[in-house]
């Protein structure tokens, strides 16, 4: 039975994913009969290349994606190297985890209100500087995209940290660290030389996911990124929502270009890995101990605190906005507070949270079952999935979602599954499964095979080994993967709206629609409401192992960091 899991997964994924891809590819070459495009041509590409500022948009997407990923990755590794196993590490871990449940757009709005020339930071200074109007300087939407990079880094650090945490036990990080310390290495250098090489293969997929996301992000880029011109993904969205439907051809070509860009970013990153691996080996063999790393450690802690602090302050600003009466510059706090907007949303809240939860639980349960099935199958047969299959699973993360959606809509409408709970759950699954897979695959594969072998030698059946040995050992990783999947599902806007045809109002469809009105109060309320379910998910992922294994020190250790 187990051997059919990879096939099941592929069957579920292949239709929608191929439909999404084809639905983008054909119009990119001029084929879309509903709009009178009956033949194949390269006109959409010519049109695309003629767009003013295209080269700048492409550069912004590629460079910002790579830089944001490099910074978040480096900071997370540095922080782990400097503080893993200390109390500060445990505290930061608790601080950073909630940030994962903050929707990207809400975090970006919060950050925007912090750093805008009329934002909180300037407001704090304004009375002393005597400003009654905000300085006319560019902080948000800066042409280089620095604000955008900052926003992405602040939001991706917690994700990468969580992924690293899930990987640390398999890398036997604690004991490794102790050994290098006794060799006289400084904490940071010792960790980077001995633990990082064992961690990195386990978190490579999440890092690449961050890279793909940062290169193709739309919502954060609209709130923080440059506008003259905007990064490619934002411009694609603009073309796709252009009332002139013939822009869809151009948009599809843009979406294909975006896919190529993401793949390029990944190739560049992999090239960087090779280089870093080569130099890292030379560096490690040099034997430099790096004992005086106090400054570096303080820098790492500072950077982590700064990034977490920015998101928390941003969230605090959303919270204040959600209760705010009239609030203008340079007032540090609103003139009055009001519960009015919360009250009006309260009535419908139960229903939309419930819808959101049902869809999320359905898609996450199927995703985790499929992923565990595939991975267990792989372990028993010593057979890794082919590159093609992996690309298929990850494709939904690599494509601009909005262009992908067109083909998906045609697919679901075509098989008559549109507007049903099942179709919404399946379309969520398409985006949830890759994240669950990349969260779980590496820790699962890195689990010491000797546990299973020992159990088999003692006469346990393979099924029993899975249920009684491997799964308990992986409790934390599995729950983390579920929580990540839940957060992904809750955050889906376009798939829910378009495949559900508006029949399923979730907290995110409401949030995005209301946010388009631009009132920070509504953005605040729904930003916070969107956090509820993912936050509960991540909290459970932390709590359950602690409770279940409270009497088993070894298990607790294995599931703790």
Partner 1 sequence: MRVFLAGLSIVAGLATAAVAIPAKADPAPDIGNWQSVLDQARGQTVYWHAWGGEPRINDYIAWAGAQVQERYGINVVQVKLSDTADAVAKVLSEKTAGVDDGGAVDMIWLNGENFAAMKRNDLLFGPWAEQTPNFAYVDVEGKPTVINDFTIPTMGLEAPWGMAQVSFYYDTARLDSVPRSAQELLEWLVKHPGRFTYPQPPNYMGSTFLKQILTELVENPKVLQQPANQADAEKVLAPLWGYLEDLQPLLWRNGQAYPQNGASLRTMMADNEIDIAFSFSSGEVSSAIEAMELPDTVRSYVFDNGTLGNTNFVAIPYNASAKAGAVVLADFLMSPEAQLRKQDPQYWGADTVLAMDKLPADMQKAFADLDLGIASLSPSERGTVLPEPHPSWMELVETEWQKRYGVAQ
Please enumerate in sequence order all residues whose Cβ is within 8 A of that of 373, keeping only pairs 6 or more positions apart, or say none. Answer: 2, 5, 6, 8, 9
Q: How far is the CB of 445 from partner 1 (least distance, A)?
A: 19
> Is there binding between residue 370 and partner 1 (CB under 8 A)?
yes
Q: Smallest gap, in angstroms, from Cβ of residue 242 to partner 1?
A: 7
- By CB under 8 A, is residue 33 in contact with partner 1? yes
Location of structure tokens 């200390």? 86
Q: Rounded to the nearest whole angstrom, what is the least distance from the CB of residue 348 to partner 1 in the complex? A: 10
DSSP conformation class of 131:
-
- CA distances (Å), 309 to each of 385, 527, 547, in order? 41, 17, 29
Segment contacting partner 1 by CB under 8 A, of 75-83, 383-391, 408-416, 547-555: 408-416
Please identify which residue in 6, 510, 531, 559 interacts with partner 1, judged by CB under 8 A: 510
Pick the closer one to partner 1 by CB: 15 or 85: 15
- Binding flag, residue 136, partner 1 (CB under 8 A): yes
Contact criterion met (CB below 8 Å) for 292 and 494: no
Q: Name residues contacting partner 1, limited to 49-68 (CB under 8 A).
A: 51-53, 56
Three-class DSSP labels, 274-285:
HHHHHHHHHHHH
Residues 216, 262, 236, CA angle at the centre, nearest 5°? 40
Among 130, 388, 518, 554, binds partner 1 (CB under 8 A): 518
The DSSP bridge partners found for residue 32 are 37
Contact with partner 1 (CB under 8 A) among 40, 422, 543, 546: 422
Q: Is 180 in the site for partner 1 (CB under 8 A)?
A: no
Q: Which is nearer to partner 1, 144 or 179 (CB)?
A: 144
Q: Does 219 bind partner 1 (CB under 8 A)?
A: no
Q: Which stretch binds partner 1 (CB under 8 A): 69-77, 128-136, 185-193, 476-484?
A: 128-136
520 binds partner 1 (CB under 8 A): yes
Q: Which of 102, 308, 366, 487 binds partner 1 (CB under 8 A)?
A: 366
From CA 530, how far away is CA 514, in angstroms rounded? 13
Enumerate residues 456-475 that contact partner 1 by CB under 8 A: 463, 466-467
- Rule CB under 8 A: say whether 138 interacts with partner 1: yes
Q: Please report how close the Cβ of residue 11 comes to partner 1 at its closest, in angstroms.
A: 7
DSSP 517: T
Half-sphere exposure of 558 (CA within 13 A, CB side): 19
Q: Among 91, 117, 96, which Cα is nearest to 161's?
A: 96
| Residue 1 interacting with partner 1 (CB under 8 A) | yes
388 binds partner 1 (CB under 8 A): no
The answer to whether residue 132 forms part of the interface with partner 1 (CB under 8 A) is yes
Secondary structure element (H or E) that encloses residue 6, with its range: helix 5-28
Contacts of 295 (CB under 8 A, 6+ apart): none
Residue pointed to by tokens 């793949």: 263
**Binding string, residues 234-273; x marks residues near partner 1 by CB under 8 A:** ----x-xxxxxx--x-------------------------
The yes or no reply on residue 35 touching partner 1 (CB under 8 A) is yes
Give yes or no for residue 2 binding partner 1 (CB under 8 A): yes
| Closer residue to partner 1 in complex, CB, 192/236 | 236
Q: Does residue 154 interact with partner 1 by CB under 8 A?
A: no
Q: Show contacts with partner 1 in window 300-359 (CB under 8 A).
A: 324-330, 336, 338, 341, 344
d(CA 90, CA 561): 8
Assess 380 for contact with partner 1 (CB under 8 A).
Answer: no
Distance CA 400, CA 211 (A): 13
Query: Among 210, 174, 213, 201, which residue's Cα sits nearest to residue 190?
Result: 174
**Which residues make Cβ contacts (< 8 Å) with residue 69, sequence separation at least 6?**
156, 207, 210, 211, 214, 269
């Amino acid at each position: 039975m187990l051997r059919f899991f990879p096939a099941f997964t592929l069957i579920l994924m292949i239709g929608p994913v191929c439909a999404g891809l084809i639905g983008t590819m054909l119009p990119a070459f001029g084929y879309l009969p509903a709009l009178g495009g009956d033949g194949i041509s390269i006109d959409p590409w010519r049109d695309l290349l003629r767009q003013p500022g295209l080269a700048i948009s492409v550069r912004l997407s590629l460079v910002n994606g790579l830089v944001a990923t490099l910074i978040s990755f480096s900071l997370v590794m540095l922080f782990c190297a400097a503080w893993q196993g200390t109390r500060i590490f445990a505290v930061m871990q608790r601080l950073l985890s909630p940030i994962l449940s903050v929707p990207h757009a809400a975090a970006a709005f919060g950050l925007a209100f912090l750093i805008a020339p009329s934002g909180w930071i300037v407001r704090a200074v304004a009375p002393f500087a005597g400003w009654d109007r905000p300085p006319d300087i560019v902080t948000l939407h800066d042409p280089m995209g620095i604000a955008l990079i900052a926003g992405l880094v602040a939001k991706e650090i917690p994700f990468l940290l969580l992924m690293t945490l899930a990987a640390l036990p398999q890398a036997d990080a604690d004991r490794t660290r102790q050994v290098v310390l006794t060799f006289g290495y400084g904490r940071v250098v010792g960790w980077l030389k001995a633990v990082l090489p064992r961690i990195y293969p386990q978190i490579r997929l999440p890092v690449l996911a961050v890279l793909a996301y940062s290169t193709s992000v739309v919502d954060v880029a609209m709130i923080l990124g440059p506008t003259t011109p905007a990064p490619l993904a934002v411009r694609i969205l603009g073309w796709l929502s252009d009332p002139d439907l013939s822009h869809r051809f151009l948009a599809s070509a843009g979406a294909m270009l975006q896919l190529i860009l993401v793949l390029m970013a990944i190739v560049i990153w992999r090239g960087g890995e090779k280089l870093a691996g080569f130099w890292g080996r030379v560096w490690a063999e040099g034997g430099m101990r790096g004992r005086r790393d106090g400054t570096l450690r303080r820098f790492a802690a500072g950077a982590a605190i700064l990034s977490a602090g920015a998101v928390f302050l941003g969230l605090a600003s959303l919270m204040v906005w959600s209760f705010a009466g009239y609030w203008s510059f340079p007032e540090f706090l609103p003139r009055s507070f009001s519960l009015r907007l919360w009250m009006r949303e309260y009535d419908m809240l139960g229903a939309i949270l419930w819808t959101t939860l049902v869809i999320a639980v359905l898609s996450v349960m199927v995703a985790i079952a499929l992923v565990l099935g595939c991975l267990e199958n792989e372990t028993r047969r010593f057979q890794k999935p082919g590159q093609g299959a992996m690309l298929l699973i990850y494709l939904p993360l690599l494509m601009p979602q909005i262009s992908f959606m067109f083909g998906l809509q045609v697919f679901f409408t075509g098989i008559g599954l549109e507007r049903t709970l099942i179709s919404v759950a399946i379309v969520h699954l398409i985006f949830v499964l890759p994240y669950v897979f990349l969260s779980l695959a590496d820790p699962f594969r890195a689990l010491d095979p000797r546990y299973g072998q020992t159990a088999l030698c003692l006469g346990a059946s393979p099924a029993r080994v899975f249920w009684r040995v491997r799964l308990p050992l992986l409790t934390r990783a599995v729950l983390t993967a579920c929580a990540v999947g839940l957060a992904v599902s809750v955050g889906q806007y376009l798939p829910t709206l378009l495949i559900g045809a508006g029949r399923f109002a979730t907290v995110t469809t409401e949030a995005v629609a209301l946010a388009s009105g631009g009132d920070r109060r509504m953005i605040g309320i729904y930003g916070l409401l969107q956090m509820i379910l993912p936050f509960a998910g991540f909290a459970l992922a932390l709590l359950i192992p602690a409770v279940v294994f409270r009497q088993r020190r070894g298990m607790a250790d294995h599931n703790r960091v």
